[in-house]
């Protein structure tokens, strides 16, 4: 078993051994994730004082308006690429093998496109609280590499009478280059927006 674990570790991490600053990237990734801890606690506990507050009260139609905009910024790292590979089971050598990726038009390893685009999910959760994700269109316009600092932007374009919300989405690098763009459609949870109460979390129910 020990030999198997050693072999598995070698196969998994060998392509990353030569990545400059891998462990520094891992530390930076954890620091950035730590900044999201407040939002996570607010979502899980429903307690006030955590996150933007939208999870702790009944949503209002005024929370959503055309032109409303939210941005999230994050550094994509080698560690993040490794974790996303295991999360998605996408082990394309283009993301992990420097020697093989270096022979392609990209000249080296690049990040998973959906790793970058996954930032849209967090933007939409803050931009359109208590809505469900119905549809997503995306175009990947430029490669992203470890160390790139990506800003994901969501802007509400339209809201119709049925509660469908259209959002324009874009990811930009620190160079100002658009790397992903698209459009999403969400739908308000009518049972909450039309006067229903946000269900109490177990923690709040116990406190009451």
Sequence spans of domains, the chain: 59-195
Quick one: tokens of 156? 């509400």
| pTM, full prediction | 0.74
Q: Is the pLDDT of residue 204 over 80?
A: no
Residue 21 pLDDT: 61
Q: How far apart, in Å, do the first and last CA atoms of the chain sit?
A: 51
Mean pLDDT along residues 104-110: 96
Q: Which residues pair with 133 in a beta bridge?
A: 186
Residue 63 pLDDT: 85
Residue 52 pLDDT: 52
Distance CA 184, CA 157 (A): 10
Q: Is the pLDDT of residue 205 over 80?
A: no
Mean pLDDT along residues 51-79: 80
Q: Is the pLDDT of residue 17 over 80?
A: no
Residue 88 pLDDT: 95
142-182 residue pLDDT tens = 999 999 999 999 999 999 999 999 999 999 999 999 999 99
CB environment 19-52: b (16+ within 10 A), e (fewer): beebeebbebbeeeeeeeeebeebeebbeeebbe
Q: Is the pLDDT of residue 196 over 70?
A: no
The strands making up 164-172's β-sheet, listed across from edge to edge, are: 69-75, 149-159, 164-172, 178-188, 131-140
* Distances from the Cα of 131 to the Cα of 97, 137, 173, 185, 193, angstroms: 39, 17, 28, 10, 9
Per DSSP, the chain holds a count of helices (H) and strands (E) of 10, 5
Mean pLDDT along residues 70-87: 92
If one looks up domain 59-195 in CATH, what number appears?
A: 3.10.129.10
User: In which band, very low, low, confident or very high, does the pLDDT at 193 lie, cut at 50, 70 and 90?
Assistant: confident
User: In which band, very low, low, confident or very high, does the pLDDT at 59 lie, cut at 50, 70 and 90?
Assistant: confident
User: In which band, very low, low, confident or very high, does the pLDDT at 86 lie, cut at 50, 70 and 90?
Assistant: very high
Distance CA 101, CA 92 (A): 10
Beta-carbon contacts of residue 32 (< 8 Å; ≥ 6 apart): 74, 75
């Amino acid at each position: 078993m020990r030999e198997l674990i050693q072999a598995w570790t070698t196969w998994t991490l060998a392509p990353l051994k030569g990545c400059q600053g891998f462990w520094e990237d891992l530390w930076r990734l954890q620091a950035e994730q730590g900044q999201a801890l407040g939002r996570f606690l607010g979502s899980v506990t429903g307690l006030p004082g955590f996150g933007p507050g939208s999870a702790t009260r009944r949503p209002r139609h005024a929370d959503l308006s055309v032109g409303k905009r939210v941005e999230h910024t994050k550094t994509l790292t080698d560690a993040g690429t490794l974790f996303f590979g295991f999360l998605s089971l996408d082990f394309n050598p283009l993301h992990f093998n420097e020697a093989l990726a270096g022979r392609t038009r990209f000249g080296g390893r690049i990040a998973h496109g959906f790793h970058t685009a996954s930032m849209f999910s967090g933007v939409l959760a803050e931009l359109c609280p208590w809505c469900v994700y119905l549809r997503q269109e995306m175009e990947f316009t430029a490669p992203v590499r470890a160390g790139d600092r990506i800003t994901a932007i969501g802007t509400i374009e339209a809201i119709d009478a049925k509660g469908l919300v259209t959002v324009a989405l874009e990811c930009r690098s620190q160079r100002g280059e658009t790397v992903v763009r698209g459009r999403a459609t969400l739908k308000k949870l009518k049972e909450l927006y039309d006067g229903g109460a946000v269900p109490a979390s177990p923690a709040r129910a116990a406190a009451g």
